[in-house]
Amino acid sequence: MVFRRATKAQPPPDPTADQDERLILSAARGDLDAFNQLVTRHERSVLNLCWRMLGTLPEAEDASQDSFIKAWTNAKSFKGGAVRPWLLRIATNTCYDVLRSKGRKPTGSLDALEFESEPGWSTQSDPVDPVRFAETGDLSRLLEAALAQIPDEQRLAVTLCDIQGLPLAEAAEVMEISLGTVKSRLFRGRAKLRDLLVASPAGRELLLSAERSSSRESE
């Protein structure tokens, strides 16, 4: 039996961090163009985090824009370091505010989100052969539904570490918790997702066949 790692090796820290820092320092002095360059660089990351946390694209877009406006307003209070975790932290807090205002507690809520699959969304998936596409398409739909059902904090950890591929230390910075707590939330979130996926025989079969096909590829 061949053991393989599912996750890539821990991604290196953002190579453009220095440039980010220069831009945010310029923005703190009132340079709006510099700030808009930062927006362009991190917009996708912030938007996807908001989308995973809130579930709908319109809400995610609003939260993302609010986050950037907050970042602009608070640019002067940026204390140095990496800009991406700082921006994602602002976005996370914005999402928690939205969740609170919608009456759902950010922690421990197992209420399913009404996860809307909007056909107009532009998703970025690698185009694969039709059979495989159907298979992963179903699995991906199943995964989205399961993601909506795990607690927000675990979803945040899974989103940051597995979906966005942030190093654990950066995720800890975003979530303002210790490395051990990030690991714990990540592991519990993954395990809960797996349990939700294998709860139905079809889902279990989907997962196992996906694993078999990817292990064949790796061999």
Partner 1 sequence: MTMPPSERRHRRSEEHLTDAELNELVDGTLSPKEIERAQTHLAACAECDERYRTLLATVSALQSASSVMPRRSFRLTPDQAKLPVKQPSWVDRFSEWIVPGVPAIRAATLAVALLLLSVAAIDVITHRSDTSENAGPAVLRQAEPTQQSIPAQANNPAPTSAPSILNSETDAAADRSEAASGGAAAPADASGPMVSSATQSNDSTLPETGGAAYTGEIERDAEASPALAAAMPPLQESSEPQQAAPESMAGLAPEASPAVAATELATPTPAPTATASPIPASPTVAPSPTPIERTSGNGGSISRWRIAEFGLLLLLVWLGVTWFGRTRMNDSAPPDDSDSSA
Name the residues that contact partner 1, by CB under 8 A: 1, 3-8, 30-33, 35-36, 39-40, 43-44, 47-48, 51, 57, 60-61, 64-66, 68-70, 72-73, 121-126, 136, 139-140, 143-144, 158, 162-163, 165, 186-188, 190-191, 193-194, 197-198, 204, 207-208, 210-211, 214
Give the nearest distance from C-beta 86 to partner 1 in angstroms: 16
Q: Which of 161, 148, 149, 150 is nearest to 189 (CA)?
A: 150
CB 103 within 8 A of CB 122: no
Complex with partner 1: residue 17 or 57, whichever CB lies closer: 57
Complex with partner 1: residue 21 or 66, whichever CB lies closer: 66
Which residues are within 8 A (CB) of 35 and not within 5 positions of it... i.e. 6 or more apart?
A: 23, 24, 26, 27, 71, 72, 75
Q: How far is CA 200 from CA 111, 146, 203, 205, in A?
A: 19, 12, 5, 9
Q: How far is CA 112 from CA 5, 49, 54, 128, 139, in A?
A: 30, 18, 11, 30, 18
Structure tokens at 9: 């090796």
Give the nearest distance from C-beta 64 to partner 1 in angstroms: 7
Give the nearest distance from C-beta 20 to partner 1 in angstroms: 16
Query: How far apart are the C-alpha atoms of 18 and 207, rounded to whole Å?
Result: 41
Complex with partner 1: residue 47 or 172, whichever CB lies closer: 47
Give the nearest distance from C-beta 151 to partner 1 in angstroms: 15
Query: How far apart are the C-alpha atoms of 190 and 207, rounded to whole Å?
Result: 13
Give the nearest distance from C-beta 15 to partner 1 in angstroms: 20
Query: How far apart are the C-alpha atoms of 136 and 102, rounded to whole Å?
Result: 32
Give the nearest distance from C-beta 69 to partner 1 in angstroms: 6
Give the nearest distance from C-beta 137 to partner 1 in angstroms: 9
Residues in the chain: 219
Complex with partner 1: residue 77 or 125, whichever CB lies closer: 125
First to last CA, the chain: 10
Complex with partner 1: residue 16 or 140, whichever CB lies closer: 140
Complex with partner 1: residue 1 or 110, whichever CB lies closer: 1
Complex with partner 1: residue 156 or 158, whichever CB lies closer: 158
